A and B are shown apart, each in its own frame.
Chain A
Amino acid sequence: EDQVTQSPEALRLQEGESSSLNCSYTVSGLRGLFWYRQDPGKGPEFLFTLYSAGEEKEKERLKATLTKKESFLHITAPKPEDSATYLCAASGSARQLTFGSGTQLTVLP
C-alpha cells in the first residue's frame, strides 16, 4: 500500500527564517511526486511536480527536491504570506494520488 508521511505537522517561523518541510514516501512505481499549497477553505494550489531522484524545481522562495525515499520543500526567507498548509502527494502504479497529512506553516512578522 502506498504511503506518504509529512513532517513536521506544524511549523512556526519568524519572517526571514529559512527551513525545510519533509515528505517521506513508499510508493510502488513512482509516477510523480507533487507539492501543493492550501489556504483555509480553499482548494489545493499546485506548486511542483518531481519525477525522478535528483530533480529540483524552484519558484520564488520555494525549492522542491526529490530523492528515492524523500522529498523536501525548502523555504528561503519566508514571508507571512507564505503561511498555509503544504501538502505532498505521490502517484504510483495505481495512478491515484496518495496525500500526506500536510504541514501547517505559520510565518510570523
Chain B
Amino acid sequence: DTEVTQTPKHLVMGMTNKKSLKCEQHMGHRAMYWYKQKAKKPPELMFVYSYEKLSINESVPSRFSPECPNSSLLNLHLHALQPEDSALYLCASSQERTEAFFGQGTRLTVV
C-alpha cells in the first residue's frame, strides 16, 4: 500500500475562517511533508516533519500552522488566509533516502 490520503479534496474558505487539512499514511514512513502548488508550477516545500518533530519550516507565514499528532497523521491548520493562498496543497511521506509518495491534494480556494 503506497497510499497517502488527504481530506478534504476541495475547500472553499473565507478570509476570516479557520479550517484544517488532514493527511494520513500507513506505510510506516517517518518523514511527512506539506507542499503548496500553484497552477503550472512545481510543488513548493512548506514544512517537513521527521519522527513527529518539525525539522524544516520554509519561512511559511504563521497563518499556516502544521501539526503532527502521531507518526501516521499530519494536519495543516489554516487561519486568516489571503486569496493568494489559493492553491493545491499536497501532503507526502517518505523513508530516509527513498522516494516520497504524494496524496491527491486539497484544492483550496480563499474568497
How many pairs of A and B residues are in contact by the CB < 8 Å rule? 47
CB-CB < 8 A to A101: which residues of B?
41-42
Asked if B107 lies at the interface with its beta carbon under 8 angstroms from chain A, I say yes
Total interface residues on A, CB under 8 Å, equals 20
Q: Whose C-beta in chain B lies nearest to the C-beta of A96?
A: B45
Q: How far is the CA of A42 from the CA of B103 in the complex (A)?
A: 8
Is B107 a contact partner of A99 (Cβ separation < 8 A)? Answer: no
Asked if A34 lies at the interface with its beta carbon under 8 angstroms from chain B, I say yes
Asked if B102 lies at the interface with its beta carbon under 8 angstroms from chain A, I say yes
Is B102 a contact partner of A44 (Cβ separation < 8 A)? Answer: yes
Q: Whose C-beta in chain B lies nearest to the C-beta of A42?
A: B104
Total interface residues on B, CB under 8 Å, equals 23
* Per-residue A-contact encoding for B56-80, CB less than 8 Å = 1, 0 else: 1000000000000000000000000
Asked if B16 lies at the interface with its beta carbon under 8 angstroms from chain A, I say no
Question: Given A32-B99, A43-B104, 9 more contacts at CB 8 Å?
Answer: A41-B88, A42-B104, A42-B105, A43-B6, A43-B92, A43-B102, A46-B99, A87-B42, A104-B40
Binding site for A on B (CB under 8 A): 2, 4, 6, 40-43, 45, 48, 56, 88, 90, 92, 97-105, 107
The 7 A-B pairs at the shortest CB distance, nearest first, are namely A99-B42, A43-B102, A43-B104, A43-B105, A49-B99, A44-B102, A31-B97
Binding site for B on A (CB under 8 A): 31-32, 34, 36, 41-46, 49, 87, 91, 96-97, 99-102, 104
